Chain A
Amino acid sequence: MAHEHKLEIFRGLLKFKSNITKIWGVLIFLSLITAVEVALGIAKPKALTSSYFIGMKVINWIFIILTLVKAYYIAWDFMHLRDEKSSLRRTIIWTPIFLVLYLVFILLFEADYIYNIFKDGFVKWNF
């Protein structure tokens, strides 16, 4: 907590000397990820935009995974969840994750269903 910091990131692969250097290290890492995202977003490589994985473009999977990675490091190092008790950490993390996955699952399925109704239905709506 307050005065002790865990200074290892990447599962111990990288250990910083002090909390301040760790913060700058995380900043560099986050900026790098953002740069990759922006570069991919501008370049939109054909290989990634035309291939699909479980119904979604590979490039979108990459974006979402990189976002979750960013979110992890913001929560773990900036919001110092890494230094909190694991019980607190799990309460905070798993509650929303469970609820959000559930909500996203329902809404996206429903939306896809409505899309198909619009597409295959007999009512013309695109005019």
Chain B
Amino acid sequence: MNSTVTTDTKEAVWGGGNKPLNASYGKLMMWFFLVSDAITFSGFIASYGFSRFKFIETWPIADEVFTHVPFFHGNYPMYYVAFMTFVLIMSSVTMVLAVDAGHKMQKNKVIWYMFATILGGAVFVGSQAWEWDTFIKGSHGAIETKGGRILQFVKADTGERASLADFAQTIPSERHEHENKNGLWFFSEGTLPSFTVNEVTRGFKANPNILIRTETITEDGEKTLLNREESLDKLKNAKYVVEGANLIHNEYGSRLFADFFFFITGFHGFHVFSGVLINIIIFFNVILGTYERRGHYEMVEKVGLYWHFVDLVWVFVFTFFYLV
């Protein structure tokens, strides 16, 4: 150690007001938060990977799950998510433009770019809500077996997926409803699927054109298609009719897939939602001229960091939920 350091340099290093990382306090704290949030998201995605590797042979194929586009009927895998990704990247771009305009103290430009960013965020959250809605409602319906496996139905001649309504028979039957007044802990009955197991089984037996598809993935990366005898045999284990997906049942296959989908995209969607809210607050601050008076637009930059982070997380969610 050199003991003859002059007081001058001591003051410069330890006297305070030093910025070793050349970033303000607020910005550093934003980065702190983002790093910890990134690790949180990584934990979620890594545990998704854990469950997926655990059930690697039976995991749902994302292309077959997310096949819908609003206002269009038919099978369009990926297009809608690609659109969502683009919307988010685009809103990230308008955010950078807002930050750039802020550096140049161009108030009006900041206002318009912030407005575009908020709009993009709102479109994204709306799209995600729609995606959830379609996923929850489901598309074709399936049978869950005693062991919790999912059996889906396919038309033998065309190879297309068959909906339950395509072949299930309607068997008139009396149903005695359990009521609140008869049970101590019973409050109400949940929603019932459109068909009973019996109706689906009977319809299946009557319609030779329907085959069963199991969850197991073949070497070609497709789900296993059973022949008629195997299908009939498999159907003996039928336990529930499943339509759509929730935390307990999932017509698309492994229920863990639905759990992780709801949890991770939900957590991300919540980030986008709060990002939109924060953007709106900053947007009004810009309009009111708060940053003009303050002399700098660093607040826009800090929110911008958060907003880009949300975009960054989506890039990973997109890959691991929809592509890989």
Contact = CB atoms under 8 A, between A and B. Distances in A.
- Contact size range, B: 35 or more
Contacts of B96: 23, 77-78, 80
Given A78-B96, A79-B309, A100 B82 contact: no
A54 interface: no
B49 A107 contact: yes
B116 interface: no
Contacts of B39: 96, 99-100
Contact of B315 (A70, A108, A126): A70
A88 B22 contact: yes
Interface string A34-70: 1101101110100001100000000010011011001
Contacts of B324: 60, 63-64
A83 to B, nearest CB: 10
Contacts of B221: 44, 49-50
Contacts of B90: 27
A19 B301 CA distance: 15
A1 interface: yes
B315 A79 contact: no
Contacts of A107: 46-47, 49-50, 53
B104 to A, nearest CB: 9
Q: Say what secondary structure dominates the interface of chain A.
A: helix
A115 B54 contact: yes
A78 B88 CA distance: 13
B299 to A, nearest CB: 13
Contacts of A111: 49-54
A126 B149 contact: yes
Contacts of B308: 74-75, 78-79
Nearest to A70: B315
Q: Say what secondary structure dominates the interface of chain B.
A: helix
B63 interface: yes
B103 A2 contact: yes
Contact of B93 (A3, A24, A87, A112): A24
Interface in A79-117: 79-80, 84-85, 87-88, 91-92, 95-96, 99-100, 103-104, 107-108, 110-112, 114-115
B265 interface: no
Given A38-B78, A63-B324, A88-B21, A127 B315 contact: no
28 contacts: A1-B23, A2-B103, A23-B97, A30-B89, A37-B323, A38-B78, A42-B63, A60-B323, A63-B323, A66-B319, A67-B318, A67-B319, A70-B315, A74-B308, A74-B311, A75-B312, A80-B99, A84-B23, A88-B31, A92-B31, A92-B35, A99-B39, A100-B46, A107-B47, A111-B49, A111-B53, A112-B53, A127-B147
Interface of B: 20-23, 28, 31, 34-35, 38-39, 42-43, 46-47, 49-58, 63, 77-79, 82, 85-86, 89-90, 92-93, 95-97, 99-100, 103, 145-147, 149, 216, 220-221, 237, 296, 298, 304-305, 308-309, 311-312, 315-316, 318-319, 322-324
Given A49-B221, A60-B323, A107-B46, 20 more contacts: A2-B103, A41-B78, A42-B63, A50-B220, A63-B319, A63-B323, A67-B315, A77-B96, A78-B308, A84-B21, A84-B22, A91-B21, A103-B43, A104-B42, A107-B49, A110-B50, A115-B56, A119-B57, A127-B147, A127-B237
